[in-house]
Every structure is written in C-alpha cells, then in structure tokens.
Amino acid sequence: MGDVLAIVSQKGGVGKTTTVVNLAAAFARRGLKTLVVDVDPQGSVRYGVGLRRDQRNAGFADYLNGQKSLREVILPTALPWLRVILAGSVSDDADHVTYQQLIAETSILPDLLETARARCHVVVVDTPPGLGAITRCVLGASQHVIVPLQCEPLALQTTPQILRGIQDVVATNEELMLDGILMTMFEAGNPASERVVDYVRRHLPANIVFDTVIPRTVATADAFAAGQPVVLRSPADAASQAYIDLANQLIDRFL
C-alpha cells in the first residue's frame, strides 16, 4: 500500500504545482511507481508535467462526472514510473459549481485516491489554493501533507491559518501527518526573502519545517514554460537539487 501526499497552501502562487511535478518526477526517477492527481480546477499540472500536447484532454473531472473510465484518464509521461491524472475538462469551464458539488457530495475522490494508493508507491495530489471543500476532501484521504510557503513577506500572515486548518483535518483523519512546511522561491541576498526564512526558523517548531529550502531559479520558471519538471530538464540546477534532496528524505519516511 502506498501513501497519498497532498500539497496544500492557503495562498495561491506559492509553488504547489511546481512542487507536485518535481517531487513526483524525483520519486519516479528513483523507481517509485508514482501517480500525480490534479484536482485543482485551474489544471496547471498539464503545463508542467511533461506531456505531449495531444494528451492534454480528459482528466479527473471527466471521471468524476462519469464521462470517462479511470483507465481513460490515467496518462503516461516521459518517465516510465510516472503517470498523471490531469484536472480534465473542468479547467476549460468557467463554472466549477457542479465539479465542487460532486466532490463534496460523493465519495468518488477519496475512493479514487484509495484505489490509486493500492497500486502505487506514492500518489501526489495538487490542490487549489485555500482550504475549501476540495482541499479538505483531499486531506481527508491523505497520509501526508506538505505546505509550501513562498519566501516573501505576505506569506507569514497566511501560515497560521493553514496550520489551524490542517490541525482541524488531522483531528478527523488520524492517518494524516504534516510532513512539513517547505520554503520556496528563496532568493539568497534578498533581505525580504532572508527575513522570512529567519522568522520561520525562529517561530515554528523545527520538526514541522524542512531544512531543505527551494531556491528561486531561472531554470525552474523556464522548465515550467517548456512544459517539463525542472528536475528532468535541468537536473544540476539548484532548485532541482533541492527537490531531489527533499524527495530522497521523503522516500526514507514513506517506505
């Protein structure tokens, strides 16, 4: 039985999707059978996970509404051990109400994660920003959660909120473990960025903050624009090395 790892944050644009695709690629490179599931209606995983253009079609939303079978929505990637379920047609719709209702009112999502877990070593789930119904549903079916925190001043305001939210969910899902807060987009030499790292290290318990910090690098942004995880496109890049290092630490915890 594998583990479900959710990547969640209160704030948007903090590096969740980047973390999802790069951790997943790093797990798969180590030979772990890995599945990415994108439940964020924005559907950004499709741009960064390394798919051919003609594959960017059906996904989780189409399985959720009964239009597609599970087999039809699990897509192969450039890595033999990495598969992906994209968000699907919901990312082309302006209206996400039905999608959210189906998630909130059925057990399709937790059942899917449970099935996936039985067949994979690790299932990495990308979530929308905030602790809404979709993210809560994912956390209810996860064993692990990582909270990316962007190294910029505003990030600090939202961290207590997400920690409280996770505590609420941990209370209802005793299997769920907060693996840690992951500081992302760190810029060495930038005082604002360094203040965030200092503050977090001083104010939060060391066991819930990863020592590994993800630097902001040009290669990471370029890789996303080119549609690939940076760990595959530029493995020697500092952000790639940080993601690979983090994946190795997590593998030791998971297996």
Interacting residues of 236 by C-beta distance below 8 A, sequence separation 6+: none
- Of 171, 176, 147, give the one whose Cα is nearest residue 159: 147
Residue 233 touches which of Mg ion, ligand ATP, none (Cβ within 5-8 Å per kind): none
Give dist(CA 8, CA 139) in Å, integer: 9
For 241, list phi and psi in degrees, rounded to 5.
-60, -40
Site string for ligand ATP, 43-82 (x = CB under 6 A): -x--------------------------------------
Closer CB to ligand ATP, 114 or 222, in the complex: 222
Q: Is 239 near ligand ATP (CB under 6 A)?
A: yes
- Using left for φ > 0, alpha for ψ between -120 and 50, and beta otherwise, residue 43 falls in left
Closer CB to ligand ATP, 34 or 217, in the complex: 217
Three-state SS for 47? helix
**Binding test (CB under 6 A) with ligand ATP, winner from 3, 38, 40, 237:** 40
Q: Is 13 near ligand ATP (CB under 6 A)?
A: yes
Q: Is 16 near Mg ion (CB under 5 A)?
A: yes
Closer CB to ligand ATP, 16 or 144, in the complex: 16
Q: What is the dihedral of CA 248, 253, 254, 255, to 10 degrees?
A: 90
CB atoms within 10 A of CB 29: 18
Q: Is 184 near ligand ATP (CB under 6 A)?
A: yes
Give dist(CA 208, CA 219) in Å, integer: 28
Closer CB to Mg ion, 121 or 214, in the complex: 214
Stretch in the footprint of ligand ATP (CB under 6 A) among 6-14, 109-117, 188-196, 247-255: 6-14
Q: Is 129 near ligand ATP (CB under 6 A)?
A: yes
Sheet of strand 122-126: strand arrangement: 75-76, 82-85, 34-38, 122-126, 3-7, 144-150, 177-184
Question: Could you tell me the smallest distance in angstroms from the CB atom of residue 156 to ligand ATP?
Answer: 16
Q: Is 127 near Mg ion (CB under 5 A)?
A: no
Is beta strand 3-7 parallel, antiparallel or unpaired with respect to 144-150? parallel
Binding footprint of Mg ion on the chain (CB under 5 A)? 16-17, 44
Binding footprint of ligand ATP on the chain (CB under 6 A)? 9, 12-18, 40, 42, 44, 129, 184-185, 214, 216-217, 220-221, 224, 239
